[in-house]
Amino acid sequence: MPKRRDVVAIVLIALPWMLLISVWHQSNITSVLTAQKEVYIHVLNIYQNSDTIGGRSDSRALKESSSLQSRDIVHVVRTEYIYSRPPPWSQSLPTLHIITPTYSRPVQKAELTRLANTLLHVSNLHWIVVEDSQRRTTLVSHFLQEKGLNYTHLNILTPMTYKSRGDGRNPRVPRGTLQRNLALRWLRETFPLNYSQPGVVYFADDDNTYSLQLFEEMRSTKKVSVWPVAFVGGLRYESPKINALGKVYGWKTVFDPHRPFGIDMAGFAVNLGLILSKPQAYFKLRGVKGGYQESSLLRELVTLSELEPKASNCTKVLVWHTRTEKPVLVNEGKKGFTDSNVEI
Amino acid sequence: MKLKLKTVFVLYFMVSLMGLIYALMQLGQHCDCAEHDLPKDRAISRLQEELYRLQGQIRQLEKAKQPEKKQPPKSSLSTIFVITPTYARLVQKAELTRLSQTFLHVPQLHWILVEDSPRKTPLVSNFLMKSGLTYTHLNVPTAKERKLQEGDPSWLKPRGVEQRNEGLRWLREDRKTEPGDNGQQGVVYFADDDNTYSLQLFEEMRRTQRVSVWPVGLVGGMKFESPVVEGGKVVRFHTGWRPSRPFPMDMAGFAVSLQLVLANPDACFDGEAPMGFLESSLLKGLVTADELEPKADNCTKVLVWHTRTEKPKMKREEALQVQGLGSDPAVEV
Q: What's the CATH number where A111 sits?
A: 3.90.550.10
Structural domain contains residue A272: yes
Q: How far apart are the first and last CA of chain B?
A: 79
ipTM: 0.73
Q: What is the pLDDT along chain B (333 residues), one digit of tens a residue?
A: 455 778 877 888 888 889 888 888 877 665 555 445 556 666 676 677 677 667 667 766 766 654 444 444 445 788 999 999 999 988 999 999 999 999 999 989 999 999 999 999 999 999 999 988 999 999 999 887 767 676 677 666 778 899 999 999 999 988 887 766 666 789 999 999 999 999 999 999 998 999 999 999 988 888 888 999 998 899 888 887 888 888 989 999 999 999 999 998 888 898 888 888 889 999 988 888 888 999 998 898 999 999 998 888 777 777 777 777 667 777 777
Residue A111 has, within 13 A of its CA and on its CB side, a CA count of 25
Of A56, A212, A238, which to mutate for an interface test with B (greatest number of B Cβ within 10 Å)? A212
Q: Are B230 and B259 in contact (CB under 8 A)?
A: no
Q: What is the pLDDT along chain A (344 residues), one digit of tens a residue?
A: 567 877 887 787 778 778 878 877 776 655 555 444 444 444 444 444 333 333 333 333 333 333 333 333 333 333 334 446 788 888 889 999 999 999 999 999 999 999 999 999 999 999 999 999 999 999 999 999 989 899 999 999 998 876 655 444 445 678 899 999 999 999 999 999 888 889 999 999 999 999 999 999 999 999 999 999 999 888 888 899 999 999 999 998 888 888 899 999 999 999 999 999 999 999 998 888 888 899 999 999 999 999 999 999 998 999 999 998 887 777 777 776 777 777 77
Cβ–Cβ of A231/B104 closer than 8 Å?
no
| Separation between Cα atoms, residue B296 and residue B294, nearest integer Å | 7
Residue B218 CB contacts under 8 Å (≥ 6 apart), including other chains: A106, A107, A110, A327, A329, A344, B224, B305, B306, B307
| Separation between Cα atoms, residue B304 and residue B254, nearest integer Å | 11
Local structure of residue A89 (DSSP, 8 states)? P
Closest to B94 in 3D by CA, of A20, A322, A214, A99 = A322
- CB-nearest partner of B54 from A76, A325, A336: A76
- Residue A333: which region, alpha, beta or left (left: phi > 0; alpha: psi -120 to 50)? left
Q: What does DSSP say about strands B254-257 and B186-190: parallel, antiparallel, or unpaired?
A: antiparallel
Local structure of residue A324 (DSSP, 8 states)? B
- CB-nearest partner of B198 from A107, A113, A230: A113
Q: Is B308 annotated as a binding residue?
A: yes
Number of domains chain A contains: 1
Cβ–Cβ of B314/A235 closer than 8 Å?
yes
Closest to A235 in 3D by CA, of A219, A249, A255 = A255
Q: Is A51 annotated as a binding residue?
A: no
User: Domain range holding A282?
Assistant: 95-226+265-310
Cβ–Cβ of B317/A235 closer than 8 Å?
yes
Answer yes or no: A216 catalytic: no
H-helix or E-strand containing A312?
A: helix A311-314
Structural domain contains residue A207: yes
Largest Cα–Cα distance in chain A? 112
Structural domain contains residue A321: no
Query: Could you give the angle at which helices A108-119 and A138-147 cross, rounded to 10 degrees?
Result: 20
Task: Calculate Rg over the CA atoms of chain A.
Answer: 25
| One-letter identity of residue B219 | V
Chain-centroid distance of CA A223 in Å reads 13
Residue B1 CB contacts under 8 Å (≥ 6 apart), including other chains: none
CA–CA min distance A290, chain B (Å):
16
Q: What does DSSP say about strands B109-115 and B79-86: parallel, antiparallel, or unpaired?
A: parallel
Of A26, A113, A241, which to mutate for an interface test with B (greatest number of B Cβ within 10 Å)? A113
Structural domain contains residue A159: yes
Q: Is B159 annotated as a binding residue?
A: yes
Cβ–Cβ of B220/A331 closer than 8 Å?
yes
Answer whether CATH 3.90.550.10 is correct for domain B79-146+156-213+251-294: yes
Q: Considering the candidates B178, B279, B291, B332, report the single residue annotated as catalytic.
A: B279
| Separation between Cα atoms, residue A114 and residue A119, nearest integer Å | 9
| Separation between Cα atoms, residue B305 and residue A106, nearest integer Å | 10
Structural domain contains residue A294: yes
Structural domain contains residue A86: no
Q: Considering the candidates A217, A238, A294, A308, report the single residue annotated as catalytic.
A: A294
- CB-nearest partner of B224 from A117, A317, A344: A344
B137-169 as b/e: b if 16+ CB within 10 A? bbbbebeeeeeeeeeeeeeebbbbbbbbbbbbe
- CB-nearest partner of B40 from A32, A78, A254: A32
Structural domain contains residue A212: yes
Structural domain contains residue A136: yes
| One-letter identity of residue B208 | T
Q: Is A206 annotated as a binding residue?
A: yes
Work out the mean pLDDT of chain A and round it to a whole number: 79
Cβ-Cβ contacts under 8 Å, A327 against chain B = 218-219, 306-308
